[in-house]
């Protein structure tokens, strides 16, 4: 949105800090932890390359700022009521009209200004990415994805569009699919798997599947 909306959030923060000090400080602390601390010291950097990867961590900060923004609007409504509400009728309708005007100003006008930038109806990068991954694989291949990006774009192509269904995804949801593994297991393999558990079992399952798969095997890299 526009930068000037933070004026309301700043006013609301000061007002709420005086009314509900503990809750306001808690919201501010959670917002700070989920952004500065998590992004800078745990996962990503602040450079432009990672802006889409780390924006999910800003959700608590956005929610806290929405509370502060509402507090700022409340301060403005209260000030207008004290100055302009001379009758009971005006005292009842002034907050409603002021809040509606703020909604139009903050949400409506900002939305109109950024509609074209936010419109993704013509974006097909995810669909194209899944098709590009599948189209480089040979027929009847086994595919090990490595992340959501390389998994669900492929599943969309296969499950929704019916494209390259001959390719088998080995671990759709982070573990080797049992029906895929059963295609290659024999009694000796099952006995070997029963001797291990946890990560060791997962490693052995992958090893058996890769060695015994009748077609080519592909691995995605993050």
Strand partners, 218: 143
Q: How far apart are CA 112 and CA 102, in angstroms?
A: 15
> 142-144 and 217-219 as β-strands: parallel, antiparallel, unpaired?
parallel
Query: In residues, how long is the chain?
Result: 222
pTM of the model: 0.58
Q: For every one of its 222 residues, what pLDDT tens digit does the chain have, with 9 covering 90 and above? A: 567 778 889 999 999 999 999 999 999 998 888 887 777 776 666 666 666 667 778 888 889 999 998 899 889 888 887 877 777 777 778 778 888 887 887 788 878 888 888 888 888 888 899 999 999 999 999 999 988 889 999 999 999 999 999 999 999 888 888 999 999 999 999 998 999 988 899 899 999 999 999 999 999 975
Q: Rounded to whole angstroms, how far apart are CA atoms 36 and 94?
A: 39
Point out which residues pair with 219 in neighbouring strands: 144
* Contact yes or no for 211/199 (Cβ under 8 A): no
Expressed in percent and rounded to 5, the helix, strand and coil fractions of the chain are 70, 5, 25
């Amino acid at each position: 949105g526009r930068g000037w909306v933070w004026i309301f959030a700043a006013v609301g923060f000061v007002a709420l800090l005086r009314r509900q000090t503990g809750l306001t400080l808690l919201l501010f602390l959670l917002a700070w932890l989920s952004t500065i601390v998590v992004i800078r010291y745990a996962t990503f950097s602040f450079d432009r390359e990672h802006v889409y990867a780390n924006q999910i961590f800003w959700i608590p900060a956005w929610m806290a700022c929405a509370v502060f923004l509402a507090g700022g609007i409340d301060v403005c409504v209260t000030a207008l009521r004290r100055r302009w509400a001379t009758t009971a009728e005006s005292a009842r309708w002034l907050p409603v009209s002021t809040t509606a005007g703020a909604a139009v100003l903050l949400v409506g006008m900002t939305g109109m200004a950024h509609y074209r930038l936010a419109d993704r109806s013509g974006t097909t990068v995810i669909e194209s990415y899944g098709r590009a991954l599948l189209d480089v694989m040979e027929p009847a291949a086994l595919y090990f994805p490595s992340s959501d990006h390389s998994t669900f774009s492929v599943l969309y192509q296969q499950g929704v569009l019916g494209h390259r269904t001959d390719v088998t995804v080995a671990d759709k949801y982070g573990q080797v699919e049992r029906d895929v593994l059963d295609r290659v297991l024999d009694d000796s393999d099952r006995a070997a798997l029963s001797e291990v558990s946890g990560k060791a079992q997962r490693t052995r399952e992958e090893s058996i599947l890769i060695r015994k798969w009748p077609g080519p095997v592909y691995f995605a890299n993050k």
